[in-house]
Every structure is written in C-alpha cells, then in structure tokens.
A and B are shown apart, each in its own frame.
Chain A
Amino acid sequence: ETGVTQTPRHLVMGMTNKKSLKCEQHLGHNAMYWYKQSAKKPLELMFVYNFKEQTENNSVPSRFSPECPNSSHLFLHLHTLQPEDSALYLCASLPGGSTDTQYFGPGTRLTVL
C-alpha cells in the first residue's frame, strides 16, 4: 500500500459522541500532521509529530486529542465537539528534508450535528 490513507472518509457525529480519526502512512516518513480545512479559510495546522513526539500544538481545543503511537500512525480523538468543528480534516506526512513536500491523505469530512 502506498501513500497516506485516512479513515473514515466521512463521519457524522453528535456533540456528545466520541469518535476517532485515523491516518496511516507506509512511506517511511518521520513527521505527521493534522490540519483542519474549513470553507473559505486557509488550512489550519493543528498538530505536528516528529518521530512520534509532538512538536506543534497550534492552540487546539482540548476536545481534540492527538495520538501518535508510531511513525506510521496518527490518530485524532474527538469528544464533545461543536458544530463549528465541522470541516475536512487532512493528515499529511513529511520525509524530513527541508525541501520536501508534504504528502496528504484524502481527508475525513466531519459533520457535527
């Protein structure tokens, strides 16, 4: 399997639910990212992990909880979300070089009711 995969592709949840988003890459990359993409706004960086260690937390509310058990897997645990959290959540990985591009997954379209 190649590239960055994300599951589920679509998720509808109530504000009291708990769910998790999964990202997986088998590219041997060292860094992994979570982004939030809302309509008409730039991609918002949420979290960065490098060699399983969190290096960036961009003031993300605690209702979003990331987990990186190894360099190939990244999770985003969701609980008590708000309707304004509805967005496309993109995962990306990075080989590590300064000129390298990120490789993105297809995203999870989240709707919070």
Chain B
Amino acid sequence: AQKITQTQPGMFVQEKEAVTLDCTYDTSDPSYGLFWYKQPSSGEMIFLIYQGSYDQQNATEGRYSLNFQKARKSANLVISASQLGDSAMYFCAMRLTSGTYKYIFGTGTRLKVLA
C-alpha cells in the first residue's frame, strides 16, 4: 500500500539556522514523484519542491532542498537560513506516475521559527 509518513508533529528552529523535516514513503511502483508543500495559517497549500523517482540529483529550489535517499525511501526537506515567515505546516506528498491522478499526503510537520 502507498503511504507517506511524517514522524515529527512539531519542530522548532532558531532563525537563520537550517532545519530538516523528515518524510518516508512506501510504494512498490518504480515511478513516482515526491512533493513538499507549505501551508500557512491562511490555509492555502503552497508548492515548494519536487523530486522524481528517476532523478539522479537532489532537487533544490532556493533555500529548499530535498535529501532524496531512494534505498531508504526517504525524502527529507531541508530549509536553510530559516526565516520567521517559514513558520507553517509542511506536508510531504507522493504521486504515482503510472497514469493515476492521485496524491497521497502525510500528516504534516508544524514548524516554528524562533527569533
């Protein structure tokens, strides 16, 4: 069964420091995509970064990078130089690329950046 696991319900990080949010996934499909979203208190889900299962290099988008370890089935999000505006819920999601339009989400991690 496909599943996304985020084991950290909440995290604190000091402003300007880096933080890693954990995500593990489970699928037997060889082709899939992994996404990270940010959800501020306003409710809207904001796309951050994408990693394909066949991508050789870890994805990076500005201060966001994805530490993709395929053998361990993990796709951790690293936020460098944390800012107060990074305080939000963060969701890891997986999409199978075998023709389905379904996305599977984790339970999320609430990140609080401290001044």
Q: Which residues of A contact B (CB under 8 A)?
A: 31, 33, 40-43, 45, 48, 50, 55-56, 88, 90, 92, 94, 98-99, 101-107, 109
Contacts and interface: CB of A to CB of B under 8 A. Distances in A.
A35 to B, nearest CB: 8
Contacts of B43: 88, 90, 106-107, 109
A4 B85 CA distance: 22
Contact of A106 (B42, B50, B101): B42
Contacts of A33: 101, 103
Interface string B89-101: 0010101010001
A28 B23 CA distance: 31
A7 B80 CA distance: 35
Interface of B: 4, 9, 33, 35, 37, 42-47, 50, 52, 91, 93, 95, 97, 101-108
Q: Is the interface of B mostly helix, strand, loop or mixed?
A: strand
Contacts of A43: 91, 93, 103, 105
A91 to B, nearest CB: 10
Nearest to B6: A42
Contacts of B35: 101
A40 B107 contact: yes
Given A42-B104, A56-B101, 11 more contacts: A40-B107, A42-B4, A42-B107, A43-B93, A45-B102, A55-B101, A56-B102, A99-B52, A102-B45, A102-B47, A106-B43
